Amino acid sequence: MLKGIPKILSPELLKVLCEMGHSDRIVIGDGNFPAESMGKNAVVIRCDGHGVPELLDAILQVFPLDTYVEHPVNLMEVMAGDTVETPIWDTYDEIVAKYDDRGPDAIGNIERFQFYEAAKTAYAVIATGESALYANVMLQKGVVTD
């Protein structure tokens, strides 16, 4: 165990977060996200039983967001014609605002199939047990300046 590290961050996940460099991306996928097929060229980390918000909050405690891009946090856009509500996005706004001065402005949306294509090039994919729909989040790493 370590002091000051959120307990939800497993040794495997901490190792991956540390290995990642500037501009590398990590996907936190909901329970429906095809983590294994999207992550064929990435490290896939299982976090079954955990939700995306709790992992996002823990990761952002140790993970700097990229300041050189407009949206270092991206969500999967709701498909046209889909009537799904996304209240979890409000939770993401609050979490991101705790760790990035841009707040919700740091968050963008990517069309579903473009999100999948971007996910295929991510350094890592986290598979969660999140049951909310359209709860996928992609983070782009920045630099540590402290």
Per the annotation, the verdict on 66 as an active-site residue is yes
Catalytic residue among 22, 68, 82, 90: 22
**8 A C-beta contact, residue 77 and residue 109:** yes
User: Which element (helix H / strand E) includes 110?
Assistant: strand 107-110
* Pairing verdict, β 73-76 and 107-110: parallel
Side-chain-side CA neighbours of 24 within 13 Å: the count stands at 16
Per the annotation, the verdict on 82 as an active-site residue is no
Non-local (6+) Cβ contacts of 48 within 8 A are: 127, 128, 129
Catalytic residue among 24, 71, 105, 116: 116
Catalytic residue among 30, 57, 66, 100: 66
Residues annotated as catalytic (active site), given as ranges: 22, 66, 116
